[in-house]
Structure 1
């Protein structure tokens, strides 16, 4: 696709000369010309040029005013000022209104050629980048329903760590969570299916039907189906200013309607558990557990029951749960950042915990078990799988946590346990890293003559490019390319000394397919050419 150029100059000779420039050689075509800024603005409305060349001094509207208006209309268009005045004031104003650069009159032909080629490359690169962004946005928009369902699941199951993460993802999905109710439903005693084949198709159809019913009651809904529990999970969204009772009434009416439709078409019953009303989106996991408890209580009360959590008739035990997202984030902090950060994060996790109770101890034991297992499950092709893992930390930890009487005692106990765990995990890490570096260096020395790259190392040793670079710098004192070059030129020196091979043969023998690049590296390394080097041996 050709790039569109617009040229403005009130001098016919200059305008004609610029139009005669071989723009097509650089992938352009002249789409419009004008003798002043006003004429330029009229034509600008009908075309969207990729490049504008405009004189500064023109009657009616000068080039700088035109450039300012053009930049407002098309911010991505590249603007070049043509001026006979090498003035800092012009350049300063031009930059302030978005002008890319300027050319001095009389225009140097070679300078114009270089500018045209360079700007064409820059414009095309930017267009490609913008197209990639548009393609990604299009793909994202097509995936929004699926992403919203995934977001709902992550929210309900506590996989997201931190309120900021929740708000950021909700914003990207164009969701406003101001007030909500979590609803958990479960079909029971079904005799008929919408589809005789795959059960998943039936569940998918049901979710779509249920969503439509909620929408009919003017309720925006996020849906998730839990295959493990065969439960339908919904986050019902309401406006913040709407009265709580009206929100709850509409939710109950919609659930009642769903029960009617399920009974009519599926010959089944549907029980629903309803959470409290909440305005804190990060509490969705807690509200989900409430709705789930209410739903599971329905089985003791009958069929086609809708039970609100607030109506459960029992003295509720104090509950304390560390979500999956919080647990994973803490483990990453503990093993990959600093123990001080982990201590601070642990205090934050337990800040809302009750002063005592079994719930706190169970949460602490669960976290300890996860942290005990984390480094083992993360190990790939490592001696960690072969070493005797000290399970006494877990055994001792469970015993010590169970004997604590307050949350503060549980925290202090965990600080000690995690300190022991970190020490155990880092024991021998230097030795393991050095062994990995030795294996990498050995691999380079064996394969230096091939087209070896960092990607080959990452695939071979199952670690990232960044990590390999860090290890090589720390333990070998060199980057991958520096070490590879050293190995190759150690063999180059031997082959030159043998005096049996031509230089292009030597280059290919040590892994340089590009002979010109081989010569360039050689001269940079030794300060002389290979032939001069041979004379000094």
Structure 2
């Protein structure tokens, strides 16, 4: 497939001559398409982006310089050639501003044109080669990912990853660290108790491989080396799985003694629900390993078992962070599974509280956070909570799961409705603006977006999604419908009708009408129908 070229000139015989005289296929191009003016060319470029555009300057409806400015916004990478019968310095200066590849004068010599299109093809080929080099770099990046990921894990548990950059790192390094519950596991291999003659480094590698075989899949473990030891970030669905994880690590220590002839002590840190808090979990795991002098080597030591006091304020703080994340996701997306998330949340914290007083505080704190979220997002409090209020008797865990699921589901629905209405609202406003101002010449997407307070890119995406048409097509269709209506119900002159539907140039109005319906306005009035 060759490169795509678009020729723009109101003199069709000029275009035909250029098409005939150049060996397009031999130069590496498809046979060019062509347009008769800038407006028509813009529409064609929007539908099928060209690689190269060659345009005349003097054309009706929109000259070549204005067309080039608009095209540069629409297709930033396009190569533009400007040719004209006018040897004026101002035109050449404007062409330079537009970063045109060439400014040439008519009549155009076929050899000169062939040479020019050859240079441009070589430029396009070079750019394609550079993109290929980027693909090679991407392959190299993929090969480097394991090392980059290990470095990331080490930085994370050291507290050197900023919270605001965490999501970016996870995306760039293709890391799945969704938890929702985390615990750092520190695997320490004794070098002083290593078998005689065996390199301690090789022994450590052997232990790590065995740990990955036994623990990685089940616990969705992320393994890396840290200060001479092996570390695993374990991921769990429920904090109550800590006992099972500890038992698995203890079994691993016994297996390492048999399989690798290694004395391995595994330390497990505090459970956390935020990946950023793994720095504290590592501290606990290190303390646990250091406690081997008291509790013995060759076993798993969980810091939560040797230091069982768990501050209730810490639990509430962690539960608040988890609930905040659920609410954040409700605010920005529609795909969150509310029953699943609500169930996980209640299970993760209600079982760790121990006393009814702390359980009551957990429920009250959760309801207060929900109330503040509803207020901050201007949700009707009575509609959000309905009958879900706390009476004299506290709900049990199952009842509170059902209550929380209902409240979060209502919030999700209400925020989704607001989001959807917001999009439909500005599309409707744009349509109302067209209905009120279609007879004005200067209607542009930029003017509409300034009026609505949204970006052009967002407006164009949502408008086409809601209406099935680009804004320009919608405006043209609306004007043409109005023109048909006036033609059928009045005897007004064509130039009068053109002005009434927003066209200052009656010739261009007739051109667009015929392009739209295949018939001129005067013939339509005579026939009273579209063929």
Q: Same fold (TM over 0.5)?
A: no
TM tier relative to shorter chain? 0.3 to 0.5
